[in-house]
Amino acid sequence: MTTAAADTAMNALIAFQRQTEALSAVAERLSWDQETVMPRGAAEQRAEEMGAMESVLHERRTDPRIGEWLDAAVAQTPAEERTLVLVAREFGRASAIPADLAAELARQTSLSHGIWAAARAADAPQDFLPTLHQIVLLKQDEANALVAAGFGGGDPYDALLDDYEPGATQAELAALFAAMRPRLVALREDVLGAPDQPRPLDSRIAQEAQLRLARACAAAFGYDWTRGRMDLAVHPFSSGRWQDSRITTRVIEAEPLNCIYSTIHEVGHSSYELGIDPDYAFTPLGRGVSMGVHESQSRIYENQMGRGRAFTGWLFQRMQDMAGDLPAPDADAFYRSVNRVTPGHIRTESDEVQYNLHIMMRFDLERDLISGKLSTDDLEEAWNARFLKDFGVAVDRPANGMLQDVHWSAGLFGYFPTYALGNVYAGCLNLAMRAAVPDLDESLGRGEAAPGVEWLRENLQRHGGLHEPRALIERAAGAPVTPEPLLDYLEDKFAAIYRL
């Protein structure tokens, strides 16, 4: 094949992919709209719209010309070489899934969101379980189709996991979690048994005041308001890429820290997308490379920077200015309250010590759902029994149990373990960032996260999908990925807070 023909194939592939990426962004915008401002009565219409959009996208992603272009194209740069790898991966996965299955999954998961939200509000799992059963069956079909095409190494769950964390396997993650669990459990027992317990932050702040404070925190972490916006959602999330990446938060007036840290967390996700090299827009390189890497950004913003002593000192003063007297008498007491460890039910509100234990539980449950070992009819009982075993607290209501997370209603099986993996990645990145930016806490104490944000943007965010997930983290951290930096950080931080 001539050089001209190879160049023609590459250019045709890139042009075709550009339109597919644009349409994918439109579909994502439909999902954002559904979870923020869409009228409740439009759920069935939106499900049909999402199904139709997925049919169009699936047809494009499986277009036979993609295979021809991949065979003919010759990369001239590392970015083009990586683009070919990512397009080939997506083409192979999409081609393995029947078009009607892809459309039905999109339709069913769109429809199920409203069913889940209503069931959660009513504490009525029986209203959601039939829909969840259908989603599990569809995801099993999807996983089996991928396995038949050679994905997942013959393991259905791994075939789903690969969509969120390419290269990871459930066996590898199970071993990682087993290695982490003893130190996490021991630390939890030590802090919960400590005689000097931080006081809870019992303070009520009105919704509009919380949102003003959340916007101030987002600005402190460099959120680009010219390319983003903030709205309310049942379950906080971020959405979008390139020049439009939006965040959501939620407000509970009696729990203002929930809004603040949900916002900072989503700013981390959104800033990753906005920080990618603009030359990668409308290409497979122009999005976060994996959900584990994505979570590393949200967690390092929220925890290692946002819950540190320096930033909470700045936040303490802002909350005092906005809410009047706080129960915490000073910034040190406020810092301890922000990082208080308590055996609560809700994953998104969990402290750093116990958060990964929540993920490990969900990881095991969803593996059993996909394998067929656990039926949806038995899920609530299995959840409640496992939660009591792992946390020593009984689930008091379904909204605080199996109905609390949106992920399964959206068909996101394989997503949950990337949260814990993201924490491990964040531990590695934090160690390197602190060494490279030794005066970071001075800036955070002034409510300026820019030095840390700029280090992350330069060493990780700007690369988008250019490198495989683990390789990207190891390049940024300058060391292999291990859980030790995270575990050491947690033990040092909470030993000081609890005066162990």
161: in domain = no
Query: 98 and 195: one domain?
Result: no
Give the lowest-confidence range in 187-201, 221-235, 313-327, 422-436. 313-327
Q: Which position has the token pair 């379950």?
A: 235
Query: 406 and 489: one domain?
Result: yes
DSSP annotation string for 297-363: HHHIIIIIITTSHHHHHHHHHHHHHHHSS-SSSSHHHHHHHHT-----S-GGG--HHHHHHHHHHHH
What mean pLDDT do residues 457-481 have? 98
Q: Residue 480, SS3? A: coil
What mean pLDDT do residues 244-253 have? 96
Confidence at residue 2, expressed as pLDDT on a 0 to 100 scale = 72
The yes-or-no answer on residue 266 being catalytic is yes
The burial class, CB within 10 Å (0-12 / 13-18 / 19+), for 354 is buried
Measuring CA to CA, which residue among 352, 358, 320, 349 is closest to residue 339? 352
What mean pLDDT do residues 436-449 have? 98
Q: Residue 250, SS3? A: coil
For the cut 90, the answer to whether the pLDDT of residue 238 exceeds it is yes
Q: Is the separation of the CB atoms in 245 and 277 below 8 Å?
A: no
Query: 132 and 196: one domain?
Result: no
The CATH code of the domain that includes 436 is 1.10.1370.30
**Is 235 annotated among the ligand-binding residues?**
no
When pLDDT is cut at 50, 70 and 90, the band that residue 203 belongs to is: confident
Q: Which position has the token pair 């769109």?
A: 110
d(CA 119, CA 126): 8
164: in domain = no
Confidence at residue 6, expressed as pLDDT on a 0 to 100 scale = 83
Q: Residue 373, SS3? A: coil
Percent of the chain with pLDDT over 90: 93
Q: Is pLDDT larger for residue 321 or for residue 139?
A: 139
Structure tokens at 430: 């934090």
Catalytic, out of 255, 266, 273, 302: 266
What mean pLDDT do residues 192-202 have? 93
- Angle at the Cα of 121 from the Cα atoms of 120 and 127, rounded to 5 degrees: 50
pLDDT tens, 291-349? 999 999 999 999 999 999 999 999 999 998 877 667 788 999 999 999 999 989 999 88
Q: Which domain holds residue 338?
A: 170-497
Q: Could you give the number of structural domains in the chain?
A: 2
Distances (CA, A) of 274 to 47, 136, 222, 449, 454: 29, 33, 11, 16, 12
Confidence at residue 417, expressed as pLDDT on a 0 to 100 scale = 98
Confidence at residue 4, expressed as pLDDT on a 0 to 100 scale = 85
What mean pLDDT do residues 203-229 have? 95
- Number of C-beta neighbours around residue 220 at 10 A: 24
Confidence at residue 1, expressed as pLDDT on a 0 to 100 scale = 60
Give the lowest-confidence range in 67-71, 234-238, 297-301, 430-434. 234-238
**Is 133 annotated among the ligand-binding residues?**
no
Query: 139 and 258: one domain?
Result: no
Most distant CA pair in the chain, distance: 76
Query: 41 and 183: one domain?
Result: no
**Is 49 annotated among the ligand-binding residues?**
no
165: in domain = no
Q: Is the separation of the CB atoms in 304 and 430 below 8 Å?
A: yes
For the cut 70, the answer to whether the pLDDT of residue 377 exceeds it is yes
398: in domain = yes
d(CA 292, CA 417): 8
pLDDT tens, 88-101? 999 999 999 999 99
155: in domain = no
- pLDDT, averaged across the chain: 96
Measuring CA to CA, which residue among 263, 272, 265, 270 is closest to residue 293? 272
For the cut 90, the answer to whether the pLDDT of residue 202 exceeds it is no
Q: Which position has the token pair 């394989």?
A: 414
Query: 278 and 204: one domain?
Result: yes
Confidence at residue 351, expressed as pLDDT on a 0 to 100 scale = 96
What mean pLDDT do residues 384-404 have? 97
